[in-house]
Amino acid sequence: MKMMMTLLALTVMAAPASAAPVEEAGIASLSADLSAGRTTSVRAVRAYLKRIAAMDRRGPRLNSIITLNPDALKQAAALDAERRAGLVRGPLHGVPILLKDNIEAAGMPTTAGSLALARNDNGRDAPVAASLKAAGAIILGKANMSEWANFRSTRSMSGWSGMGGLTRNPYALDRTTCGSSSGSGAAIAAGFAPAAIGTETNGSIICPSSLMGLVGLKPTVGLVPRTHIVPISQSQDTAGPMARDVRDAAILLSVLIASDPADPATADAKAHAHDYAAALDPAAIKGMRIGVMRGIEQPALVALYDAALARLTALGAILVDVEKPDMDAMRAASGTVLNAEFKTDLNAYLASTDPARVESRTLADLIAFNSAHAPREMPLFGQELFEKAQAGAGAADPAYAEARDKAKRLAGPEGIDAMLAARKLDLLLALSYGPAWISDTLYGDNYSGPRGLTSPAAIAGYPHLTVPMGQMRGLPVGLSFIGAAYDEQRLLNVGYAFEQAQGLKLRPDFRATADAGPELEAAQP
């Protein structure tokens, strides 16, 4: 009897500790649990599917997921078998990841939120999806998004699509998720997967990440292939990671980088490929000269921002105030570019789809489809941007090339590059956005708060990282780090140093509305 009790005690002692709850797991932590035998990919997938079933269409009804991968459990079982056989492809092996629903993955439709693309499964993977699968990731499903990446109407409402309805912010259900990577942000904040891939043309990774307490990285345009991603603009479009922490974003970036013959912008991408997570160095912040954007008016946001600046100074950064660049001219030029490229690039994408599954073959067809299905497609806003793009000549417009060159010059060499060079700076710093505003079904997005340097970074095609900085009235607020082209490692190093020193762990509580209590909740240095 004594021997049996001793053996039982030894067995209990030898049993692996329990895995972290899935709603708290990131890529690195879930990968560690899988490696230690504390869980399996099948168990993790089942747990995420159960949580999605309970909270996405029921309970708080976040509406963050459009499609789930019907083969997710089968793929998880195969990856578990590989692990048991000693084959582990890397930190993403057996880890579920969500894709924004403008990124193709075989076996699931890619809708861009539109009913016109409800059957758009071409049996092909975007290079982004292919890279994730090759690294062992499980594509758990496709996330809801602002329909057509917020490029259908001048009065669009972030987070709404005809396919998925309105995505809700898990920090306050009546507040916006921003967009257009709305579902990607809401799903990760809610614990439906460890991380997601979003896309950005101007703010669509950074804004949802900032408003929902995530780390979001918009890479340099040309670092990540865009093939088989529903486009807006070849000049500004990119995919990028949305994750719980900087390390997870670095892990994803390392996998996503690739040169793709079908995307000439990525010709030099391989030259910048390395293990960004292994290269994380929080000590690199010491002595860095960081240009600081001011001009915030709300006292609570100023206090939150000042606390972050004090922490960066304590970490050894040298902070230098800089003036905000003139954004009106670059935005106007960028608007001309997006209007032209959208028509040309979208028509090319539609032509590449299966005509048996996608009846709308051109932008003109989509406009007609929306008009014919107006009660479902246009109950809240119209399609003014579609109509404006269709009325133009696309990339054949004589004004297009001049506007493209002007936008890039004003945002890049005469914008961010000039700001860095003038004061011998390593990178720039700004508030990402203010806290989430109330979702407005009548007037659409109506935000007039701070936007930092989102537009210059997007128009120049330069990298932009947002990291959670604190909360205001229970709503997350992010801190932005912006650099020159291909400065991702530098941004990640500084963001990692700040994140580790901050020690901030944000978790949503799915409240109906934001706190009416104390305005400021920040980790003080």
Is 181 assigned a catalytic role? no
Residue from 100, 133, 343, 408 carrying the catalytic annotation: 100
Q: Are strands 289-293 and 318-322 parallel, antiparallel or unpaired?
A: parallel
CB atoms closer than 10 angstroms to residue 335? 15
Separation CA 267–CA 100 (nearest Å): 24
- C-alpha pair distances (Å), 481 with each of 73, 284, 291, 305, 395: 38, 14, 10, 13, 32
Joined together, the tokens standing for residue 280 give: 């994380």
CB atoms closer than 10 angstroms to residue 231? 24
Joined together, the tokens standing for residue 52 give: 């999605």
Is 41 assigned a catalytic role? no
CB atoms closer than 10 angstroms to residue 519? 17
Separation CA 206–CA 198 (nearest Å): 10
Residue from 41, 156, 182, 204 carrying the catalytic annotation: 204
Residues 6+ apart with CB under 8 A from 27: 91, 92, 95, 194, 195, 243, 244, 247, 248, 251, 252
Is 180 assigned a catalytic role? yes
| Cross-strand pairs, 289 | 318
Phi/psi at 271 (5° precision): -65, -20
Peptide bond into 31 cis (omega under 30): no
- C-alpha pair distances (Å), 331 with each of 224, 305, 395: 24, 26, 18
The SS3 assignment for 290 reads: strand
Residue from 156, 180, 210, 254 carrying the catalytic annotation: 180
CB atoms closer than 10 angstroms to residue 200? 30
Name the residue type at position 52: I
The SS3 assignment for 208 reads: helix
Joined together, the tokens standing for residue 367 give: 């406009």
Report whether 216 contacts 239 (CB < 8 A).
no
CB atoms closer than 10 angstroms to residue 87? 11
Name the residue type at position 508: P
Name the residue type at position 88: V
Just list the catalytic residues. 100, 180, 204
